[in-house]
Amino acid sequence: MNTMDDIQLLETIERYLLGELSPTEAAQFESMRKTTPDIDQMVVEHSMFINEMANYANRKNFSKLSEITFNTLFDAGAWTPVNEQSTTYKVIQLWHRYKKVTAIAATVGGFIALITTIMTLYFSPSLNGSQVLQLSKAIEIIKTNQLAQGNLLNEVKTKLPENAVLISGGTGFLIDTKGYIITNAHVLKGNKAMVISSDGKELNADIIYTDQAADLALLKINDADFVSPKTIPYSIRKKTSELGEEVYTLGYPRNDNDIVYGKGYLSAKTGFDGDSNAYQLQISANPGYSGAPVFNENAELIGIINTRQKQLEGVAFAIKSAKIFDLIAASDKTNGDFKNLKNQRSNSSSKSDRKKQISNLEGYIYNIRSFN
Amino acid sequence: MTKKVKKIKNSHFGLLLNYLSINTLKAEYNEHALLKGLANNDSKAVETLYKCHFGMIQHFVTNNNGSFDDARDIFQEAMIALYEKVQHESFSLTCQIKTYLFSICKHLWLKRLQQMGKYSSPLNSEEEAISVTSDIEEAAQKDAAFDIMDRALNSLGEPCKGLLEGYYLNKKGMQELADEFGYTNSDNAKNQKYKCLMRLKKLFFAQYNIGD
């Protein structure tokens, strides 16, 4: 009722101001205005408001017209944008001044480059061949060393069953406080597995599920000595990460149980041969890094290292972290087993100091051993 | 750096004086028609102004620590100031459009440079061909009112914002708005429009009175 009156009054005032009232109506309204100061005040206020509204409308419409005009002319090439001519000018001056010196330097540089190229071309075939050889040798050495270490372990510790033969190894990481670990399927060439924590504790683990095509495997620590952590300090990224994003990894490429930190960046959103399930990373990855987690700056898990380019030093490939969810879904484990997975936040470690992040993460990354 | 700014500025000023001296009656007549067109939102007039004068402003701004985008923004502001000036019936331009636009742009740009701490010496209005200080002040007041209205309208939400913009900005009829916003008849739309208007006024005056 009250609002209806208000609306009616406002309408009358507006029509009065716009001159839309009939002469009799207008006369009536004016006498009302004279006798009622409240109404008079409302008229003054509204007239000012209508004026402001008209100004607003005019400017808004004109701005649009002006902008469109500018854009049309600009698109037609009416002006060439030149930014900060004064600084460009300085650079040009400098260039003129040092032109000669630069030219000489460039010539010398070019000459050296030419010689280098010729020499490289001359020597490269034999060099490349030995490099490839050396690399594969290195893999062999690690394998034999791992076997030797296996024997050693066999002698000293009891967790590895008697007559067990170490087949392969790599890195893995916890995805759940209950002891679920993700690693590469190719890390588990044997039919049994054992994990070693960063502080050297050996733990027995069951192979829950492997997906050879995705090259992912799910393990579960099955050992009384396992102390379940309260939380997992990283979240698993579901979205694709951005090109150029700084990444780092932690793995066990060495023969001892020392964790190794590696830094690099995401160099392509697809893996080897355009594989959309993987990323290409610019990172130095050695054998043993297989299954190592790849984190971004916010300590979000974005991928799992699995292969490297043989010909190109420093190029590695990582399976996208979203594939972990597919693996879990395929593993026939109920969601209850991973109830923490979805709620994980890269909480305390996010954006904090890298050293702090690493010491935080170490305890969740395991050295994986597979044996028969 | 300050020296450089001044030097370039003065060379422009010389160009301007040069231009003024070759001013003809014919040009004056054209300018009048141009301003009339501008007052009536004639796109041809706006286009002519951009074509004739933006190059000069681009040159000035980019030679004085600014980018192309800065030049565009500054020129747009000056165009709005000129547009709002020609809206008044009492309007008269005591100089050429070119001089006016350049003075406004120079003033606005040096003020902005000062705010960024890139230009330290105070603005000297004696150097200018014409004093635009009062125009600048008026434009600043209008800017404030415009911003208040803009914020008030944007905080209304739909359908109020659309309804009021349709009526006051795009001058649509009540029936057209009723169809567009799905009201059964124009009376319903009108009622809704007034309800929205009351809300808008409340929001507007809450800000406007603080500004006073």
The pLDDT of residue A292? 92
Does residue A241 share a domain with residue A129? no
Does residue A117 share a domain with residue A70? no
The alpha carbon of A329 is separated from its chain's Cα centroid by a whole number of angstroms, namely 23
Does residue A255 share a domain with residue A342? yes
CA of A27 to nearest chain B CA: how many angstroms apart?
23
CA of B126 to nearest chain A CA: how many angstroms apart?
26
- A70 interfaces chain B, CB cutoff of 8 Å: yes
The pLDDT of residue A337? 63
Q: For residue A276, which of A324, A240, A238 has the smallest C-alpha distance?
A: A240
- In angstroms, the CA B177 to CA B171 distance is 10
Place B121 in a pLDDT band, splitting at 50, 70 and 90. Answer: low
**Window A:72-111, CB contacts with B under 8 Å:** 72-73, 78-79, 81-86
- For the segment B185-208, the average pLDDT, to the nearest whole number, is 85
- Tell me the chain B residues in contact with residue A7 when contact means C-beta distances shorter than 8 Å: 191, 194-195, 198
CA of B168 to nearest chain A CA: how many angstroms apart?
7
- In angstroms, the CA A306 to CA A104 distance is 48
Does residue A222 share a domain with residue A91? no
- A62 interfaces chain B, CB cutoff of 8 Å: yes
* Contact between residue B55 and residue A70 where contact means Cβ atoms under 8 Å apart: no
- Tell me the chain A residues in contact with residue B74 when contact means C-beta distances shorter than 8 Å: none
Looking at A75, A109, A130, which one is the last position of a domain? Answer: A75
Does residue A244 share a domain with residue A349? yes
- In angstroms, the CA B23 to CA B35 distance is 17
DSSP for residue B122: P
Does residue A40 share a domain with residue A112? no
- Total structural domains within chain A: 3
Which helix (H) or strand (E) segment holds residue A173: the answer is: strand A166-174
More confident residue, A38 or B78: B78
Helix (H, G, I), strand (E, B) or coil at A353: coil
Interface contact flag, B62 A60, Cβ < 8 Å: no
Q: Least CB-CB distance to B68: which of A53, A68, A81?
A: A81
- Tell me the chain B residues in contact with residue A61 when contact means C-beta distances shorter than 8 Å: 41, 169
- In angstroms, the CA A75 to CA A6 distance is 50
- Tell me the chain A residues in contact with residue B41 when contact means C-beta distances shorter than 8 Å: 61-62, 65
Given a cut of 50, the residues of chain A with pLDDT beneath it are 1, 85-94, 123-158, 343, 346-350
Q: Mean pLDDT across chain B, nearest whole number?
A: 76
- The yes-or-no verdict on residue B89 having pLDDT over 70 is no
* Contact between residue A231 and residue A344 where contact means Cβ atoms under 8 Å apart: yes
- A112 interfaces chain B, CB cutoff of 8 Å: no
Helix (H, G, I), strand (E, B) or coil at A283: coil
* Contact between residue B82 and residue B104 where contact means Cβ atoms under 8 Å apart: yes
Q: Using a pLDDT cut of 90, give the percent of chain B over it.
A: 0
Interface contact flag, A73 B50, Cβ < 8 Å: yes
- The yes-or-no verdict on residue B186 having pLDDT over 60 is yes
Q: Over the range A16-30, which residues count as b (16 or more CB within 10 Å of their CB) and which as e?
A: beeeebeeeeeeebe
Does residue A287 share a domain with residue A256? yes
Is residue A286 classed exposed, middle or buried when 0-12, 13-18 and 19+ CB atoms within 10 A define those classes? middle
Place B7 in a pLDDT band, splitting at 50, 70 and 90. Answer: very low
ipTM of the complex in this document: 0.75
Question: Which sequence spans correspond to the domains of chain B?
Answer: 2-131, 155-211
CA of A354 to nearest chain B CA: how many angstroms apart?
36
Does residue A88 share a domain with residue A216? no
Q: Where are the alpha helices (DSSP H) in chain A?
A: 2-17, 23-35, 37-75, 85-156, 322-330, 354-361
Interface contact flag, B83 A82, Cβ < 8 Å: no
Structure tokens that stand for A367 in this block: 């050295």
- In angstroms, the CA A313 to CA A153 distance is 33
CA of A81 to nearest chain B CA: how many angstroms apart?
5
Interface contact flag, A78 B190, Cβ < 8 Å: no
Does residue A69 share a domain with residue A194? no
Looking at A75, A101, A117, which one is the last position of a domain? Answer: A75
Does residue A35 share a domain with residue A181? no
Interface contact flag, A73 B47, Cβ < 8 Å: yes
Domain carrying residue A102: 83-156
- A54 interfaces chain B, CB cutoff of 8 Å: yes
* Contact between residue B80 and residue A59 where contact means Cβ atoms under 8 Å apart: yes
Structure tokens that stand for A74 in this block: 């600009």
- Tell me the chain A residues in contact with residue B76 when contact means C-beta distances shorter than 8 Å: 63, 66-67, 70
- In angstroms, the CA A304 to CA A308 distance is 12
Does residue A98 share a domain with residue A28? no
Q: Least CB-CB distance to B41: which of A53, A62, A72?
A: A62
Q: Least CB-CB distance to B65: which of A52, A59, A86?
A: A86
Looking at A55, A75, A95, which one is the last position of a domain? Answer: A75
- A69 interfaces chain B, CB cutoff of 8 Å: yes
Does residue A149 share a domain with residue A290? no
